[in-house]
């Protein structure tokens, strides 16, 4: 919502190379790099002068997006840089801007609906003449539904209007001549929502205007009980347990709901988590644990804490430094056939947020010093809370850190996020009695670290060696402050 407005366009190479000035200015190689530099958000395709507005990919994990709202209505004239639609991705609400001037000829995917990434959600026409063509296209996009009614917004409504009455100062003729269609604001909204051709509806309201009820009748839906029927009360009556949940989902093999239970659909973020978790089942993961002595790290933490350094930053830095020596643990397996070695060490750190889970990324964690890292982390967390994280700030991780130590959890294992080779689960550091080689007992703070990795690319010995390095860094943490 509050995120800076990002826009970009992928102009399909076929027709635009010759017509668009951009490719001429930049050789085709750099053309694609430009595209990525300015965030590959918004995807429009040039085909003659009618462009499709695609569901943009706002993050690497996003496969579908929900239209929060259309900022513009059909028929609105858009100018370059204006936001057109608000899309809820799995991480944030984003304004999506247009990169072209034109007219929003048709909305293919309405508010509240979802569409897969890359699907056309709207049609942009360059001039009014192309609106009809664009609409035809929209109709084909949205299946067999009837073509859209002339846009209710004034900008385009003027196009079909002129023949009906001559304007100028002939006001009376407008009302007495052939009747123009008059529909109330809500009727227009409903017509758009239910894809009803408003011109075909006979108005029954005052002065023959089309009312919301007329649209509801035309679309065959029963008028919703707006504040007349106390539907909520019926539903909550304990005497009628089977009615307790509105079953709008497939009942098939699901066990019957426990009486009194409520069903809360996933938010987009939660849906993304669910999808990623299920996807992780296709990766052959294994886990290696390692106890790490943290007395030295704790002492260092006490020293640097007043300077704003957090334990998260310390651990991320230690992991990053260990990853420098074990690049395979920082690699990933994209296709099941090869290693993808990542040139940067980007540590994603899992954060629970508003009933969701997000992984802000500390980019180049091996290169930044501890203080910069801490500061960066603080900014990322604030942004995450405000839902203002940019995609590259949560989807560029090459290794994930998950810490539940602050809750007193002594050990746990984490599920590998898609696209990454390994994830480290950190437990609490606790005083532990240790016997040394000579049989002397002492008490040391020990922390159990458990790494989950993709065994297609990372083997047991790799992880063991990585953990050993990590442990050495933590036990001699002076290097972290360098």
Partner 1 sequence: MHSTSALSFSQATSVPTTNYAFHSHCPLNLRFCGLTTQAFGFSFSTHSASTRLRLSTRAPGHSNKISASPGHNGTPPTSFDYDLIIIGAGVGGHGAALHAVEKGLKTAIIEGDVVGGTCVNRGCVPSKALLAVSGRMRELQSEHHMKALGLQVSAAGYDRQAVADHANNLASKIRSNLTNSMKALGVDILTGFGTIVGPQKVKYGKVGFTDTMVTAKDIIIATGSVPFVPKGIEVDGKTVITSDHALKLEFVPDWIAIVGSGYIGLEFSDVYTALGSEVTFIEALDQLMPGFDPEISKLAQRVLVNPRKIDYHTGVFATKITPARDGKPVIIELTDAKTKEHKDTLEVDAALIATGRAPFTNGLGLENISVVTQRGFVPVDERMRVIDANGNLVPHLYCIGDANGKMMLAHAASAQGISVVEQVTGKDHVLNHLSIPAACFTHPEISMVGLTEPQAREKAEKEGFEVSVAKTSFKANTKALAENESEGLAKLIYRPENGEILGVHIFGLHAADLIHEASNAITLGTRIQDIKFAVHAHPTLSEVLDELFKSAKVKAPASTSSSPVSDPVSA
Q: Which of residues 58-77 bind partner 1 (CB under 8 A)?
A: 68-71, 73
| Beta strand spans in 90-248 (E) | 93-97, 102-107, 114-116, 120-125
Among 398, 403, 420, 452, which residue sits at the site for partner 1 (rule: CB under 8 A)? 403
**Three-class secondary structure of residue 17 per DSSP:** helix
User: Order of strands, edge to edge, in the sheet holding 114-116?
Assistant: 93-97, 83-88, 64-70, 114-116
Among 37, 80, 303, 385, which residue sits at the site for partner 1 (rule: CB under 8 A)? 385
Residue range at the interface with partner 1 (CB under 8 A); choices 41-49, 185-193, 412-420, 469-477: 185-193
Among 43, 315, 348, 480, which residue sits at the site for partner 1 (rule: CB under 8 A)? 315
Cβ pair 118, 55 in contact under 8 A: yes
Candidates 275, 274, 235; CA nearest to 257 is 235
- CA 123 to CA 55: how far, in whole Å? 12
- Phi first, then psi: give them for residue 186, nearest 5 degrees: -70, -35
Residue range at the interface with partner 1 (CB under 8 A); choices 165-173, 292-300, 390-398, 435-443: 165-173
The angle at the Cα of 270, spanning 269 to 273, to the nearest 5 degrees, equals 90
What is the closest distance, in whole angstroms, from the C-beta atom of residue 418 to partner 1 in the complex?
24
Counting contacts by CB under 8 A, is residue 411 touching partner 1?
no
The bridge status of strand 399-403 relative to strand 422-435 is parallel
Counting contacts by CB under 8 A, is residue 238 touching partner 1?
no
DSSP structure string for 250-280 = --TTSPPPPTT----PPPHHHHHHHHHHHHG
Nearer to partner 1, 331 or 450 (CB): 450
Cβ pair 75, 125 in contact under 8 A: no
Nearer to partner 1, 37 or 305 (CB): 305
Residue range at the interface with partner 1 (CB under 8 A); choices 41-49, 220-228, 267-275, 434-442: 220-228
Residue range at the interface with partner 1 (CB under 8 A); choices 96-104, 156-164, 193-201, 329-337: 156-164
Q: Where are the alpha helices (H) located in 2-115, listed in sequence order?
A: 13-19, 21-25, 28-37
What is the closest distance, in whole angstroms, from the C-beta atom of residue 280 to partner 1 in the complex?
24
Catalytic residue selected from 378, 455, 456, 472: 455
Asked about 194 being catalytic, the answer comes back as no
- CA 427 to CA 410: how far, in whole Å? 5
Residue 395 has a CB neighbour count (10 Å cut-off) of: 22
- CA 419 to CA 61: how far, in whole Å? 9
What is the closest distance, in whole angstroms, from the C-beta atom of residue 207 to partner 1 in the complex?
5
Counting contacts by CB under 8 A, is residue 449 touching partner 1?
no
Residue range at the interface with partner 1 (CB under 8 A); choices 365-373, 378-386, 429-437, 451-459: 378-386
Nearer to partner 1, 197 or 382 (CB): 382
Interface residues toward partner 1, by CB under 8 A: 1-2, 68-71, 73, 83, 86, 95, 111, 152-154, 157-158, 161, 167-168, 171, 174-175, 180, 182, 184-186, 188-189, 205-207, 209, 212, 226-233, 236, 305-306, 308, 310-312, 315, 354, 374, 377-378, 381-382, 385-388, 403, 405-406
- Where in the sequence numbering do the catalytic residues fall? 455
């Amino acid at each position: 919502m509050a995120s800076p407005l990002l826009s970009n366009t992928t102009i399909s190479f076929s027709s635009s190379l010759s017509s668009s000035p951009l490719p001429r200015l930049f050789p085709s190689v750099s053309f694609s790099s430009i595209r990525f530099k300015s965030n590959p958000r918004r995807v429009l395709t040039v085909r003659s002068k009618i462009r499709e507005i695609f569901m943009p990919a706002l993050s690497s994990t996003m496969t579908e997006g929900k239209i929060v709202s259309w900022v513009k209505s059909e028929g609105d004239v858009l100018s370059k840089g204006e936001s057109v639609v608000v899309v809820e991705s799995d991480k944030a609400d984003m304004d999506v801007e247009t990169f072209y001037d034109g007219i929003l000829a048709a909305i293919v995917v309405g508010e509240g609906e979802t569409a897969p990434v890359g699907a056309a959600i709207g049609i942009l026409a360059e001039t009014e003449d192309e609106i009809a063509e664009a609409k035809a296209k929209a109709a084909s996009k949205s299946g067999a539904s009837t073509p859209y009614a002339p846009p209710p917004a004034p900008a385009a409504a003027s196009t079909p209007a002129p023949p009906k009455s001559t304007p100028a100062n002939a006001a009376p003729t407008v009302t007495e001549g052939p009747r123009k269609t008059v529909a109330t604001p809500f009727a227009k909204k409903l017509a758009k929502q239910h894809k009803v051709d408003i011109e075909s509806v006979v108005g029954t309201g005052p002065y023959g205007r089309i009312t919301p009820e007329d649209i509801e009748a035309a679309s065959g839906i029963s008028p919703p009980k707006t504040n007349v029927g106390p539907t909520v009360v019926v539903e909550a009556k304990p005497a009628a347990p089977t009615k307790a949940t509105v079953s709008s989902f497939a009942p098939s093999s699901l066990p019957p709901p426990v009486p009194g239970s409520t069903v809360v659909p996933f938010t987009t973020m939660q849906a993304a988590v669910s999808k990623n978790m299920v996807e992780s089942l296709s990766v052959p993961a294994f886990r290696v644990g390692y106890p790490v002595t943290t007395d030295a790290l704790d002492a260092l933490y006490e020293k640097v804490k007043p300077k704003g350094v957090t334990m998260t930053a310390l651990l991320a830095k230690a992991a990053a430094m260990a990853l420098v020596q074990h690049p395979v643990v920082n690699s990933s397996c994209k296709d099941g056939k090869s290693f993808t070695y990542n040139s940067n060490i980007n540590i994603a750190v899992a954060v629970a947020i508003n009933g969701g889970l997000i992984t802000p990324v500390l980019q180049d964690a091996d290169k930044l010093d501890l203080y910069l890292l801490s500061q960066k982390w603080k900014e990322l967390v604030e942004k995450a809370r405000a839902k203002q994280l940019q995609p590259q700030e949560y989807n560029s991780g090459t290794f994930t850190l998950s810490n539940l130590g602050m809750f007193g959890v002594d050990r746990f294992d984490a599920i590998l996020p898609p696209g990454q080779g390994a994830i480290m689960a950190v437990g609490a550091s606790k005083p532990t009695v240790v016997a040394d080689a000579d049989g002397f007992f002492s008490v040391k703070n020990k922390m159990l670290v458990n790494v989950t990795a993709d065994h297609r690319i990372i083997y047991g010995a790799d992880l063991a060696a990585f953990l050993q390095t990590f442990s050495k860094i933590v036990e001699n943490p002076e290097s972290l402050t360098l």
